[in-house]
Amino acid sequence: MIIVPEREIAALMTRDAAFDAVSGVFAAMASKDAYNFPVIREAIGHEDALYGFKGGFDKAGMALGVKAGGYWPHNLEKHGHINHQSTVFLFDPDTGMVKAMVGGNLLTALRTAAASSVSIKHLARKDARVMGMIGAGHQATFQLRAALEQGRFEKVIGWNYHPDMLPNLEKVATEAGLPFEAVELDGMGEADVIISITSAFAPSLMADHVSPGTHIACMGTDTKGKQEVEAALLARATVFTDEVAQSISIGEAQHAIAEGLIKQSDVHQIGAVINGTHKGRTSEDEITLFDGTGVGLQDLAVAAKVVELAVQQGVAIEVDF
């Protein structure tokens, strides 16, 4: 069995490798070569923690396994560890024997950023120049860094519920050599691409804040009750997602579905666009929206890549198990 500790991931995994792994598994999901298992998420009644499992099997990439972990809200203050903790376990699909144990914390941020990047590549207008960000927390910086590699962006604009966090976005924009401007939500009309990644339970971005032709990646809503954008925006947009079942139950589409504004058949798999079986964006004025809920197969895909890189670079720890 191979162990790749969390401390090794940053030096091993690149944004390009994460992009390819996530794009490949989205394509495999759409062609039914890969499927996710039902998600388990439990409030365990200890330390206010939420713990769960996301797993799946990708027959195309031969990745079988599970990401186990969750959210321990007091970790930082009590123990000096980050609050989100996860580990990926990979199994041999031929034998069921455990193959690898991989630190999942940084990988989660990289695979989540890769998902919105895949959506930008396939759904944003090619002449997109203004990148808009809603959210400025831990994930937002990964999202922005990856997104800026998907186009010829000239400017970043940002809004956050807690404005004191906006310098996090400015730093990433500056590193990429781009100007950053803090805006009000109605200023988002200038953006050609918008990523929202917050932990909000009420919408910030309203349908009227968005201009025709914009691509929006909603990445924060991954639980029942969370919401980042007005449900009416989904009715105005062509909606894509990683996994339809998750989108309509725990993703952004849960609200538009509940309000009767869209139907399940209005939500399309991004993998179908990658595979060329869905045409994706069809006009310059169309609003496209990617509801990125986060699936276990993304975790397995990036973990499998990390194991390959760790073995190649001689940093994999092998244990007899």
Residues with catalytic roles? 67
- At position 152, the amino acid (one-letter code) is R
Among 58, 192, 222, 230, binds ligand NAD (CB under 6 A): 222
Compare residues 118 and 316 and give the one whose CB is closer to ligand NAD. 118
Among 36, 86, 112, 150, binds ligand NAD (CB under 6 A): 112
Tell which residue, 238, 241, 235, has the closest CA to residue 258: 235
Q: Is residue 227 involved in binding ligand NAD (CB under 6 A)?
A: no
State how beta strands 238-241 and 288-291 pair: parallel
Tell which residue, 29, 17, 90, has the closest CA to residue 59: 29
C-alpha 122/C-alpha 83 separation (Å) is 33
Q: Is residue 35 involved in binding ligand NAD (CB under 6 A)?
A: no
Shortest Cβ 116–ligand NAD spacing (Å) = 9
On whether the CB atoms of residues 100 and 90 are closer than 8 A, the answer is yes
- The interface with ligand NAD within residues 127-156 (CB under 6 A) comprises 135-140
Which residue in the block uniquely carries the two structure tokens 């906006």? 166
Compare residues 32 and 162 and give the one whose CB is closer to ligand NAD. 162
Neighbours of 262 (CB within 10 A): 18
Task: Convert residues 266-295 into a mask of x (bound to ligand NAD by CB under 6 A) and - (unbound).
Answer: --------------------------xxx-
On whether the CB atoms of residues 305 and 21 are closer than 8 A, the answer is yes
Shortest Cβ 97–ligand NAD spacing (Å) = 29
**Residue numbers of the site for ligand NAD (CB under 6 A)?**
108, 112, 135-140, 160-162, 165, 197-200, 204, 219-220, 222, 292-294
